[in-house]
Structure 1
Amino acid sequence: MNNESLRRVLLIRRLRERQQRRQWVRPVLLRREQCGEFHTLVQELRQHDPEGHRRYFRMSVIEFDEILVKIEPAITKQTTHLRDPIPAAERLAVTLRFFAAGGTMKSVAESYRLGFATIRLIIIETCRAIWEVIGPDVLAPPTPEQWRQHALDFEQHWQFPNCIGAVDGKHVQMEKPINSGSINFNYKGFCSIILMAVVDAKCRFTYVSVGANGQESDGGVWGDCDLGQMLEAQRGDGRVLPGPALLPGSAEVAPHVIVGDEAFPLREHLMRPFPGAALTTDERRVFNYRLSRARRTSENAFGIMAQRWRVYRGPIACNVATTKLIVQATCVLHNVLRQNELARGGLGAHCTVAPAERGEAAGLRDVTDAGVIHNHSQQAARVRETFVRYFSGAGSVPWQMDSIRR
């Protein structure tokens, strides 16, 4: 028997074995409604243990139901003569449990007694529905009036006037996609996509950009995202950001700005700290302290999200497109839950996370260089010097000198 004949015999045998094993539904999955986690544990938590429900899904029963009402039309499937569809509530439960518990889709599939392919499709569709249905309500681009309100919040809570947000970027770690080469492989030695976000004074995302390849982390991330392009095009006419305004208690006029760390370039509407070699005066050290204090909101927001959604505690075992949907959906849910916490008076406006929670989550790593070129214009330098003078003059706070001398 030649090699070609042998290959045909083996192929026929393999196909027969596959046909013999093929089943419409695995027997263990047939008892989903009797033994599956949604029909047993989840129902008990809803009825008898609301605090347990909050720990299990990272949200209350009321919050779960409110989200379900909004996305139910988008994730409900039609009943056919072959089988009944999985209910929308169970689809949402599967997705939230995957976010809250971390781990893998396979572990969720086993506990809910659903097939892996089914779980994967459910999570993708539910994430897309959250992003497309709820996202426009909680992550709509702010208007100039809303930017001004954010500036007032930063002035009140963080003593940084004319600040409309804190920007930060994170590598979202993921398992290496098949046949992806090095496109998502970053300089830190793992595969990732990049989440760029602006956070308001109350730890809510006002802008997110997800999906830049991890390989781009050493340059181009800021310039390529639409927020960076928007700020570069800003000309002080108030069409995108509010126009310049007086700093409280002084005659100094400054534009509205976003604050970032040393990974970002200095621009007229984007403030970054002075590098260590340039910290030659107490005034500059005070500026760095005040900027770092305002920028803390972005670190707090990412810390809260990583603590709530433990899917970020390790690499996400999905392809790039699915990982992007997961990040988008968790950002939307973060805003929904954060707004509810503020309405209840929880966590305070400062939203300070415990020190033990401030470390980097394994699945969220800092982007340490987000701009291609750090050269800045004279106008950008003048804006920064305006804040330097203000923070050491009319805008000083009693504790700032003690803080820079510790």
Structure 2
Amino acid sequence: MDSSEEELLLVLVMRRRRRRRMKTKRSLHTHPLLRDRLEKGLYYTLYDDLRQSGKKFFQYFRMSKTSFDELLENGKEAITGKDTILRKDCPCNKQKPPYWYLGAGSSMMGLHFQYRIGVSTISYIIRHVCSAIWRKMKSICFPDLSKDLWLASAEGFHKKANFPHCVGAVDGKHIRIVKPTSSGSLYYNYKNYFSILLLAVCDSTYKFLFIDVGAYGKSSDSTVFRNTVLNNKLQDGTLDLPAPKQLSLSFERPMPFMTCHLAWSVEEILRTVSEKISQTTSSALKAKCHGSCKKSKC
């Protein structure tokens, strides 16, 4: 079969599928369950009561009312629709499911029954709200990596974990996904499920300084780190890390600033920011990194 015959066959198959869709008629324009949204939807029956109690509100949405209102304002424009002849747009009801989905990990099907909104509509809302929040708050939540920022982070680790010259704690998180089509074992991780990797650098208060999202689930944290923008800046000297400094009066040799990870070799990171270090110093830093990270649960 040549290419022209394959193209013709493909066109015929697509035409047949289109005709089948046209023949399929919906029995209902709106399901009766969704019609009662204004009377029985979770927003109209529970939300006002939750606002009266800060503790219960936090337990439900996993965030304070102040943080919730801020996120609500930043994601509002992404889901503001228009009134139609069949129904009126209700942005208030559509704004709440994304934050419950992100905070508690509820399924879209669960939100469909709770808020009485279509599953496809909820999927659309979550995607667009997340995109709007990222666009508006990225520059606020992820400031430029500067020398002052690194020094402030290092001071926090020194005070809270007794770990000097540590500018950040690095770790990865597997985010479970449905296996992408024709992906083979690229997304299959050592925990025996399909995932993408979120790699993050946090300061001593558990706030993100840098993230990298989307690596294959089969990759290790160190492999992902080597391919990040952060590591590229570290290699070419544009990360703006503070210069090596003396730790104390009793330890005269200047020591470089570094990131910490339980499973990584300390020499691998130090090698890029300092000259070759002795085996004794390397072993001591390994022990310190392991102990401090466990203490701060990073």
**Deviation of the 1:141 alpha carbon:** 3.2
Q: Residue type matched to 1:253 in 2?
A: P
Structure 1 residues 22 and 200: CA distance shift in structure 2, 3 A: same
**Identity of counterpart residues, as a percentage?**
31
Structure 1 residues 187 and 50: CA distance shift in structure 2, 3 A: closer
Structure 1 residues 191 and 299: CA distance shift in structure 2, 3 A: farther
* Superimposed CA distance per residue, residues 312-339 of structure 1 (whole angstroms, 9 cap, x where no aligned partner): xxxxxxxxxxxxxxxxxxxxxxxxxxxx
Equivalent position SS for 1:126: helix
Matched, 1:148 2:146: no
Distance 1:78 1:253 in 2: 63
Q: Where does structure 2 lack aligned partners over 5 or more consecutive residues?
A: 1-16, 274-278
Q: 2:44 aligns with which of 29, 39, 44?
A: 39
- Residue aligning to 1:360: none
Q: Residue type matched to 1:254 in 2?
A: M
* Superimposed CA distance per residue, residues 200-234 of structure 1 (whole angstroms, 9 cap, x where no aligned partner): 11111111111001133387322111112221222
Distance 1:170 1:33 in 2: 39
2:188–2:217 CA contact under 8 A, matched in 1: yes
Structure 1 residues 196 and 130: CA distance shift in structure 2, 3 A: same
Structure 1 residues 178 and 22: CA distance shift in structure 2, 3 A: farther
- Residue aligning to 2:269: 267
- Residue aligning to 1:242: 242
Structure 1 residues 179 and 107: CA distance shift in structure 2, 3 A: farther
Q: Residue type matched to 1:26 in 2?
A: H
Equivalent position SS for 1:209: strand
Distance 1:13 1:149 in 2: 64
2:199–2:221 CA contact under 8 A, matched in 1: no
Q: Residue type matched to 2:66 in 1?
A: I
- Residue aligning to 2:185: 182
Q: Residue type matched to 1:140 in 2?
A: P
**Deviation of the 1:239 alpha carbon:** 5.6
2:153–2:168 CA contact under 8 A, matched in 1: yes
Aligned counterparts, 1:322-341, within 5 A: none
Distance 1:228 1:284 in 2: 20
2:74–2:132 CA contact under 8 A, matched in 1: no
Higher relative contact order (CA 8 A, sep 6+): 1
**Deviation of the 1:133 alpha carbon:** 1.2
Structure 1 residues 127 and 13: CA distance shift in structure 2, 3 A: closer
Equivalent position SS for 1:180: coil
- Residue aligning to 1:253: 254
Q: 1:131 aligns with which of 105, 110, 134?
A: 134
1:168–1:298 CA contact under 8 A, matched in 2: no
1:256–1:269 CA contact under 8 A, matched in 2: no
TM-score by length of 2: 0.80
Matched, 1:228 2:240: no
Distance 1:46 1:113 in 2: 20
User: Which has the higher mean CA deviation after the structures are superposed, 53-62 or 68-77?
Assistant: 68-77
Distance 1:239 1:33 in 2: 53
Matched, 1:61 2:62: no
- Residue aligning to 2:12: none
Distance 1:289 1:36 in 2: 54
Equivalent position SS for 1:216: coil
Aligned counterparts, 1:180-329, within 5 A: 180-217=183-220, 220-234=223-237, 240-249=240-249, 250-263=251-264, 266-268=268-270, 287-296=285-294, 299-300=297-298
Structure 1 residues 128 and 24: CA distance shift in structure 2, 3 A: same
RMSD: 3.1
Q: Where does structure 1 lack aligned partners over 5 or more consecutive residues?
A: 1-10, 272-278, 301-406
TM-score by length of 1: 0.61
Equivalent position SS for 2:29: coil
1:259–1:270 CA contact under 8 A, matched in 2: no
1:164–1:256 CA contact under 8 A, matched in 2: yes
Distance 2:63 2:270 in 1: 40
Equivalent position SS for 2:36: helix
